[in-house]
Amino acid sequence: MGLEYIKEFKYIRDKYKKLLNLSKYVNKFCHKILSNLKAHNKETKEIVLTCLFIKSLSTFQGIIILASKGMTKESGQRFH
């Protein structure tokens, strides 16, 4: 990593500290929900919703990681 990248990363972390902290809280909350989910294998709706929740959480995490690294264009593409 170059020095410019490190400076940019620190700048983004400082500028969006509250938002990044909120995203960490949301992520932890979602993981608590996920750990308590009990999708029954005979209930198609439960299985589909559980899978969609997992996929949504993964997408959310990817967007936050990319955006926090200054890759806003890439994070926007992941969202679409």
Model-level pTM?
Answer: 0.74
Distance CA 79, CA 59 (A): 7
List alpha helices for the chain, DSSP H: 3-15, 17-36, 44-68, 72-79
pLDDT digits over 38-72, tens only? 888 888 998 999 999 999 999 999 888 888 877 76
User: Any idea where the domains of the chain sit in the sequence?
Assistant: 3-79
Say if residues 39 and 50 touch (Cβ distance below 8 Å).
Answer: yes
Say if residues 23 and 64 touch (Cβ distance below 8 Å).
Answer: yes
pLDDT digits over 17-32, tens only? 899 899 999 999 999 9
